[in-house]
Structure 1
Amino acid sequence: MTQMQSSPGRFATVPRTTAASRSIATSGTAWRRRYQVSLMATDSVLILGILLLTVNVLTLDDSSRRLTEVLLLGGVIAAGWVTAMSLFRTRDSRIVGTGAGEYKKVVRASLATFAAAAVVVALLDLDHFRSLLVLALPSGTALLLSSRWLWRQWLLHQSHLGHYLSKVVVVGQPADVRYVAAQLAKKSGAAYTVVGAVYEGRSNPAALHTGERIVPVVSGLRKIEDFVAYTGADAVIVAGHLHKGSSYIRELGWRLEESSTELVLASALTNVAGPRITMRPVEGLPLMHVELPQFTGGRHILKRALDIVVSATALLILAPVFLVLVIAIRRDTPGNAFFAQERAGKNSAVFRMFKFRSMVVTAEDELEVLRERNQGNGVLFKLRDDPRVTRIGRIIRKYSLDELPQFWNVLRGEMSLVGPRPPLVSEVSGYEEHTHRRLLIKPGLTGLWQVSGRSDLDWEESVRLDLYYVENWSVTGDLIIIWRTFKVMLKPVGAY
């Protein structure tokens, strides 16, 4: 066990890290600035390059005068685009390398740039410049997103080597500290690594396991800044509520300023309402404003349009695959190649969800015999070596091919491409009150639950992910989840 010694700034022997742990290279402000400069340089080169290429294509047979005009407009758009990437904070250290937020800001900056350019073209009646906007916007945005994805892969690789990570100390009640540390170890990606923890109160601290590492833990809040200096942390994360109250957090922030250490507050509210939270200072009083979730409106119309186009296209393109799977399933075991099951949809409306049959036809009758061997999360029945699964069934379940017929449910409007997991009717009857919020929108063919571990998730985490999606979804977020689904299909996790 690790405890603070009486002399300030001195600590007892810290448990050594496991053999699997790696040294953590210099992190914090220095590497973030270098990374931001690299992103800025890449963005600028790509924006300038795509506009020059577009101008060259559009003016191959035009006069030198028009070429000059198009080059001038292209230069103005390039400057505006680069500026928008900064104004929309696409390189903010709080979002780079952490997922969807970065990509959303890139898309918004690009759309804002070309919306402004389109207004200028319309007002000045520059009809011959519209082709420039039509070509440059999608190609440039795609290049920028691809660039950010490649940078993110590099950053993730570096983080696995212990490089380019912000080192943090987590402060709070033991249960809150352990939860935050576990979430950071699992899901922060190329962002944070926990190097220490401080428990409020006089509890006997034990070493804290975060992934493959063991970090020191101390008790008491009196000398946090000394512990921060000892661990070399760049930030302090306050997990949950502290009994000492907000005045202590304010004073802690002042003390941490001397070492340029960031102070981060982890609120339980952000588990569900994160993107809808904004800070609104009123006469020096910082108010946390939580916007109401939207369950109808224009965004949902756009979501439905995307569902129709993608599902209809997928059914046409995948028709040969469907035929092959039908033949393989029928030849493997007797029975229908398709399996239909009643599920609860939006507002608890019951519908028949279709899948390729991956089990023997008597699977439903044999369920009660196997229920006591359940390896799922308690609410959902899962068995890693379920004897009811057929030989072909194991293959199609591993790669989620059994879910493909649900494109028909999406086309019919009973499901969406992305959404919460479609529950059984029997599950809904046992829901707690807040869990029913999963049914406020259509269930999805894929979703956060599928790209975050599927059957490996416990029930509480599955519910948290679904509620988070229901209240905070966006079209851009859906596209990112669809992309991540393709990756999970190639490298399955939690599929059995």
Structure 2
Amino acid sequence: MDWEQRYRRAVITSDTVATACVVAAIGNFFGARDAANWHEKWGILAFGTELLVLAALAIGRAWAPAVLGQGAEEFRRLGRSLFAATVVLALGGIALTSRNIKLWIFVAIPAIALVTMTARYLLRLWLHRQRKEGRCLRPVLAAGSPATVRDLINRTRKFPHLGWRVDAVCTTDGLGLDGELDGVRVVGRLTDVANHVRRDGYRVVAVTPDPHWSPARLQRLAWNLEGSDAEMVVAPVLMEVAGPRLHIDAVLGIPLLRVSMPTFTGGRRAVKEVVDRLGAAILLLLFSPLMVFVGLLVLADSRGGAFYRQRRVGKDGREFTILKFRTMVAGAHAARAALAARDEGAGLLFKVRRDPRVTRVGTVLRRYSLDELPQLFNVLAGSMSLVGPRPPLPEESAAYGPDIRRRLLVKPGLTGLWQISGRSDLSWEEAVRLDLRYVEDWSLALDTVILWKTLRAVLYGQGAY
């Protein structure tokens, strides 16, 4: 589609211009000090660094249309490509015994990473805005059982930023409810999928679970789609497992979907631990004046202390004391029983949208999540993480079933998928699904994306009360 090519060209141009600007700025600033040997010492390194970075992005498939504007994989490929460029640059510097190579490794590449990631994020915001308005969407033909197709339709409508729009459906018997499934035309049987794709030009064929789909029929469908512009996507049975845990292996000519175990220990978790402690320390230093100001406002607004302490359940079911700025009047917990009839919370959560116990200052603090800032002390102490599932109350945890208890396999977080997806507006089932998805699919790249998106969620205050 035309918009896909235009968007890809925009990303390539953005990366090229950003790299050139950073390299030129560093070369001109530092090279001016040694103008006599600028071309020899700086010009060659600057030009070589830019070529190396762009070549690494191309080889690392950081410009592949399938990942542009889609989840954390785009930034993961960008990061891997820049890391590869750094390694090659370092080895080249050692081989050439260049004394200036450290500047390009420790200043230029990090600066390029910062600028390119920011530019890509801004382009993604534009793309997602277009998709919410019904533009820049890939037309999808969904083929499977009515129940699984209906689930796919609902998900694409709920998350238009993913870029799919189900325009047609094929089912086993070619029938739906009055020829439609949730307002989408049922155009034929599963045996007719390839014919409809070639005739109507769908960009994606989404194959959802159905007893009809045997390995032989899936292979035949893939053959019949050859030569068309359609991408065939097969939804696995493990719908909630994704990201780095899924791998495709060929064993004896049989394609197998290999699901690796979720990682709760090891090197990446050690890196996360270091990032949590260091990040919490830096944020506490940055926000300390704001926290002092907020504490004084809380004290001036109503009787009681500035902080509220509450027991929560953390990793492996261990309880700890969470810190928050007080947002309710003194004795608010004792008045909870009188508000039971007004409970608007999801599932085990207790929430009242216009809770009379919340103070005037507390309303503002909750809207912008400023009451959560003291939890940085919990992160620094090691009982919480910067990113993770929501920390439950002991009575909530006691009511968990075996599936939901998987939330306790990792540390609870100051923010998480629930924070950037609607917070209190989420249903209980959706909040649990997001937390379990984080536990199953955790990665450092996912943490980075969540932290980035948290800023926007806090500024807009959506779902906070």
Return the alpha-carbon distance in structure 2 between the equivalents of residues 301 and 244 of structure 1: 42
Instruction: Judge conservation of contact 2:41–2:100 (CA < 8 Å) in 1.
Output: no
Measured at CA, do residues 72 and 165 of structure 1 come closer, stay the same or move farther in structure 2, by a change above 3 Å? same
Query: Which stretch has the larger CA shift, 115-124 or 61-70?
Result: 61-70
Structure 2 residue corresponding to 1:136, chosen from 92, 99, 108: 108
User: 1:362-441 alignment to 2 at 5 Å?
Assistant: 362-441=331-410
Query: Which stretch has the larger CA shift, 153-162 or 393-402?
Result: 153-162
What amino acid sits opposite 1:358 in the alignment?
A: T
What amino acid sits opposite 1:181 in the alignment?
A: I
Q: Which residue of 2 aligns with 1:172?
A: 144
Q: Residue deviations 1:161-215, cap 9 Å, x none?
A: 4332211122222221122222222225152122122333465425444xxxx43
Deviation, structure 1 residue 360? 2.3
User: 1:243-258 alignment to 2 at 5 Å?
Assistant: 243-258=212-227
Return the alpha-carbon distance in structure 2 between the equivalents of residues 370 and 76 of structure 1: 67
Return the alpha-carbon distance in structure 2 between the equivalents of residues 57 and 216 of structure 1: 61
What amino acid sits opposite 1:442 in the alignment?
A: K
Deviation, structure 1 residue 251? 2.0
Deviation, structure 1 residue 399? 0.9
Q: Residue deviations 1:197-249, cap 9 Å, x none?
A: 2333465425444xxxx432356323234444565421111123443423222
Matched, 1:72 2:44: yes
What amino acid sits opposite 1:333 in the alignment?
A: S
Instruction: Judge conservation of contact 2:139–2:167 (CA < 8 Å) in 1.
Output: yes
User: 1:34-183 alignment to 2 at 5 Å?
Assistant: 34-62=6-34, 64-65=36-37, 67-183=39-155
What amino acid sits opposite 2:232 in the alignment?
A: L
Q: Which residue of 2 aligns with 1:186?
A: 158
Measured at CA, do residues 274 and 309 of structure 1 come closer, stay the same or move farther in structure 2, by a change above 3 Å? closer
Instruction: Judge conservation of contact 1:399–1:489 (CA < 8 Å) in 2.
Output: yes
Return the alpha-carbon distance in structure 1 between the equivalents of residues 59 and 7 of structure 2: 18
What amino acid sits opposite 2:332 in the alignment?
A: A
Deviation, structure 1 residue 444? 0.4
- TM-score with structure 2 setting the length: 0.93
Q: Which residue of 1 aligns with 2:299?
A: 330
What amino acid sits opposite 2:68 in the alignment?
A: V
Q: Which residue of 1 aligns with 2:265?
A: 296
Measured at CA, do residues 323 and 53 of structure 1 come closer, stay the same or move farther in structure 2, by a change above 3 Å? closer
Return the alpha-carbon distance in structure 1 between the equivalents of residues 235 and 387 of structure 2: 27
Q: Secondary structure at the match of 1:260?
A: coil
- TM-score with structure 1 setting the length: 0.87
What amino acid sits opposite 1:486 in the alignment?
A: L
Matched, 1:451 2:420: yes
What amino acid sits opposite 1:52 in the alignment?
A: A
Instruction: Judge conservation of contact 2:49–2:104 (CA < 8 Å) in 1.
Output: no
Instruction: Judge conservation of contact 1:172–1:239 (CA < 8 Å) in 2.
Output: yes
Instruction: Judge conservation of contact 2:313–2:391 (CA < 8 Å) in 1.
Output: yes
Q: Which residue of 2 aligns with 1:269?
A: 238
Instruction: Judge conservation of contact 1:406–1:445 (CA < 8 Å) in 2.
Output: yes
Return the alpha-carbon distance in structure 2 between the equivalents of residues 190 and 316 of structure 1: 37
Deviation, structure 1 residue 362? 2.4
Return the alpha-carbon distance in structure 2 between the equivalents of residues 394 and 313 of structure 1: 27
Q: Which residue of 1 aligns with 2:255?
A: 286
Q: Which residue of 2 aligns with 1:460?
A: 429
Measured at CA, do residues 435 and 201 of structure 1 come closer, stay the same or move farther in structure 2, by a change above 3 Å? farther
Q: Secondary structure at the match of 2:240?
A: helix
Instruction: Judge conservation of contact 2:146–2:176 (CA < 8 Å) in 1.
Output: no
Structure 1 residue corresponding to 2:443, chosen from 474, 486, 490: 474
Q: Residue deviations 1:272-325, cap 9 Å, x none?
A: 343211111123211111122221122222222222222122223322222222
Return the alpha-carbon distance in structure 1 between the equivalents of residues 217 and 449 of structure 2: 39
Instruction: Judge conservation of contact 1:280–1:288 (CA < 8 Å) in 2.
Output: yes
Q: Which residue of 1 aligns with 2:274?
A: 305
What amino acid sits opposite 1:99 in the alignment?
A: G
Q: Residue deviations 1:118-175, cap 9 Å, x none?
A: 1221243222221122221111111111121122122223323433221112222222
What amino acid sits opposite 1:141 in the alignment?
A: A
Return the alpha-carbon distance in structure 2 between the equivalents of residues 392 and 69 of structure 1: 59
Return the alpha-carbon distance in structure 2 between the equivalents of residues 366 and 246 of structure 1: 60
Which consecutive unaligned segments of at least 5 residues does structure 1 have? 1-27
Instruction: Judge conservation of contact 2:384–2:413 (CA < 8 Å) in 1.
Output: yes
Q: Secondary structure at the match of 2:312?
A: strand
Q: Secondary structure at the match of 1:448?
A: coil
Return the alpha-carbon distance in structure 1 between the equivalents of residues 350 and 69 of structure 2: 35
Query: Which stretch has the larger CA shift, 194-203 or 299-308?
Result: 194-203
Q: Which residue of 2 aligns with 1:11?
A: none
Return the alpha-carbon distance in structure 2 between the equivalents of residues 147 and 376 of structure 1: 38
What amino acid sits opposite 1:243 in the alignment?
A: H
Instruction: Judge conservation of contact 1:421–1:447 (CA < 8 Å) in 2.
Output: yes
User: 1:337-348 alignment to 2 at 5 Å?
Assistant: 337-348=306-317
Query: Which stretch has the larger CA shift, 426-435 or 481-490?
Result: 426-435
Return the alpha-carbon distance in structure 2 between the equivalents of residues 405 and 231 of structure 1: 56
Deviation, structure 1 residue 92? 1.6
What amino acid sits opposite 1:269 in the alignment?
A: L
What amino acid sits opposite 1:272 in the alignment?
A: V
Instruction: Judge conservation of contact 1:70–1:129 (CA < 8 Å) in 2.
Output: no
Instruction: Judge conservation of contact 1:355–1:402 (CA < 8 Å) in 2.
Output: yes
**How well do the aligned residues superpose, as a CA RMSD in angstroms?**
2.2
What amino acid sits opposite 1:146 in the alignment?
A: T
Number of aligned positions between the proteins:
464
Return the alpha-carbon distance in structure 1 between the equivalents of residues 321 and 380 of structure 2: 13
